[in-house]
A and B are shown apart, each in its own frame.
Chain A
Amino acid sequence: MSEAARKGMKPKKNRAGLWGIYLALALIYIWAFSGMNLPEIKPTAGQITKSIFNGMFHPDWDYVSDPGGEDLLHGLLDTLAIAALGTFISAVLCVPFAFWAAANMSKGKAASGTGKFVLSFIRTFPELVMAIMFIKAVGPGSFAGVLALGLHSIGMLGKLFSEEVENMDLGPTEALMATGANRFQILWFAVIPQVITGFLSYTLYRFEINVRSAAVLGVIGAGGIGTPLIFALTSRDWNRVGIILLGIIVMVTVIDLISGYLRRKIV
């Protein structure tokens, strides 16, 4: 074996670089921990923890269904409705963004790069802050939550959709162009059939995420089960906290199961 070949086989480790990373990590941790003042734990903490667990095991069953009143089922249904409608809106609105950001559909690298940046901007804008802004526009309630999820989810769905479009086979597009189809017909007959299942699957996935998000929106008054949970927490009604938490856990689990099943069926 030649000298050069033997050298090439040795794993070349950048020792200095590695130590640099270790040092940087150490500094980050020193900074992070020294900046935290030791938290003083309220003497009641243990008591409250016990109460919450107590509440979990003795949930306020009466709250599950209270005809005419604001009950658990009502809150959960509201949460699901917010998630479903928000997901639908974003799945529709993100399609043009996805084609804008897809490198093989946009005219030039600059265009798709801008599209990608816009999507990552939307993704980073916290949905709770969006919800606060929509509350200013349409008042507190579920509708503000729907709009916030609908706008925020564009960021992630648009990115996933655009990746689906980028991974598409361009052959059928060319074949359709050769038959004399116009742009829209090419899109409809060669592009959409290829990407639609991916789009649906990602939409369901985002729906799973949005159900969790919708359960939180109530914290700032944008509808859903979060509002009664915050009320129960502040009024220290632990049995009610328990039943609401159980409700959320059951709802999210069931939705994950159904959505996962559907996603497996689609592909």
Chain B
Amino acid sequence: MKVGIQKVIEFKNVSKTYPNGVKGLKNINLTIEKGEFVVVVGLSGAGKSTLLRSINRLNEVTEGEIVIAGKSITNSSGASLRRIRRDIGMIFQSFNLVKRSTVLRNVLSGRVGYHSTFRTVLGLFPNEDVNLAFEALERVNILDKAYTRADQLSGGQQQRVSIARALAQEAKIILADEPVASLDPLTTKHVMDDLRRINQELGITTVVNLHHVDLAQEYATRIIGMRAGEIVFDGPVEEATDDKFSEIYGRPLQNNELLGATV
């Protein structure tokens, strides 16, 4: 192993068959290193979400092993599984915030994995936690909304709250499953910029599923192409030419796979 390079996520012969027989992942072998900004692309149904959600075990895989920073998450359970999950922040297409709670409470909910049930239920977060939450909100520029209810924010603001939640979690890995799919082009740029800044400034390993090829080319350091549950392309962003994308998609690129000149 080269000095200074750490394997953060490792897939070893991972396969996933859904109960209805659909093969979501077929014998995946993959290593992601610290600080990478990986974008996963592929047609709808290619298995991008399945891949991403296997990393923190929101999906169970049926074969193989996934290792997170040296610990096998597929063999963990109970407290040790939660300990691994604590280091992995997740950002969803639909934000998944508790709409009736304040922004601050949503961000603080990223901290519960660090404390006892009793303490969190009583709302006794230590001051450092609250400061961490404020810093996270500051970093995504919505500090002034801390005491606003989440359902009173725009989509872009809500997505930034969920990024703040992952930051407050002090996650070492951030997984984002189509984080911008329900946002307009301008907001998309803000959110992607936030993700890139966090990746570069804090060195958080980031794995993002995206539909838009040009976004992938703009933000990724490494691109993984999937088709029918298999990895059909894996390489640095420079190698991912339009021709390669056509290969991943099995056909020429279409207009709706480009965000276009709007950004």
Do chains A and B make direct contact within the complex (CB under 8 angstroms)?
A: yes
Residues of chain A whose beta carbon lies under 8 Å from any beta carbon of chain B: 169, 171-172, 174-182, 184-185, 188-190, 193-194, 196-197
Whether the pair A179, B110 counts as a contact (CB closer than 8 A) is yes
**What's the nearest-Cβ distance from chain B to residue A66, in Å?**
48
Starting from the known contacts A175-B92, A181-B82, A190-B98, 20 additional A-B residue pairs (CB-CB under 8 Å) come to A169-B99, A172-B98, A174-B96, A175-B162, A179-B85, A179-B112, A180-B84, A180-B85, A180-B86, A180-B87, A180-B113, A182-B82, A182-B117, A189-B101, A189-B105, A189-B109, A189-B120, A193-B98, A193-B100, A193-B101
The residues of B that contact A178 with a CB separation of less than 8 Å are 56, 58, 85, 88-90
On whether the beta carbons of A184 and B96 are closer than 8 Å, the reply is no
Contact residues in B for A169 (Cβ distance below 8 Å):
96, 99
Contacts of A175 in B (CB 8 A): 90, 92, 96-97, 162, 165
Residues of B within 8 A of A176 (CB): 109, 112
Residues of B within 8 A of A185 (CB): 112-113, 117, 120-121
The contact size tier of chain B is 20 to 34
User: Chain B CB within 10 Å — which of A172, A176, A185, A196 has the most?
Assistant: A172
**B residues lining the A interface (CB < 8 Å):** 56, 58, 82-90, 92, 94-101, 105, 109-110, 112-113, 117, 120-121, 162, 165, 169
Q: A177-B58, A180-B83, A189-B109 are in contact. Are A171 and B117 (CB under 8 A)?
A: no
Closest to B85 in A: A180
CA distance A18 to B94 in the complex (A): 47
Given A185-B112, A190-B109; A180-B82 close (CB under 8 Å): yes
Q: Which residue of B lies closest to A176 (CB)?
A: B109
In the complex, chain A residues whose CB is within 8 Å of the CB of B120? 185, 188-189
Given A178-B56, A182-B117, A171–B112 Cβ distance below 8 Å?
no
Q: How far apart are the CA atoms of A188 and B112 in the complex, in Å?
A: 10
A35 → chain B closest CB, angstroms: 54
Inter-chain contacts of B94 with A (CB < 8 A): 171
Chain A residue numbers with a CB within 8 Å of B96 are: 169, 171-172, 174-175
- Top 4 nearest A-B pairs (CB, nearest first) are A180-B113, A180-B86, A171-B96, A180-B85
Note all chain A residues with C-beta closer than 8 A to B85: 177-180
Q: A188 — nearest CB in chain B belongs to which residue?
A: B121
Q: CB < 8 Å: which of B84, B113, B162 contacts A181?
A: B113
Chain B residues within 8 Å of A181, by CB: 82, 109, 112-113
The CA of A193 and the CA of B85, in the complex, are separated in Å by 23
Pairs A–B under 8 Å by Cβ, sample size 28: A169-B99, A171-B94, A171-B95, A171-B96, A172-B96, A172-B98, A174-B58, A175-B165, A177-B85, A179-B85, A179-B86, A179-B109, A179-B110, A180-B84, A180-B86, A180-B87, A180-B113, A181-B82, A185-B117, A185-B120, A189-B98, A189-B101, A189-B120, A190-B109, A193-B100, A193-B101, A194-B99, A196-B100
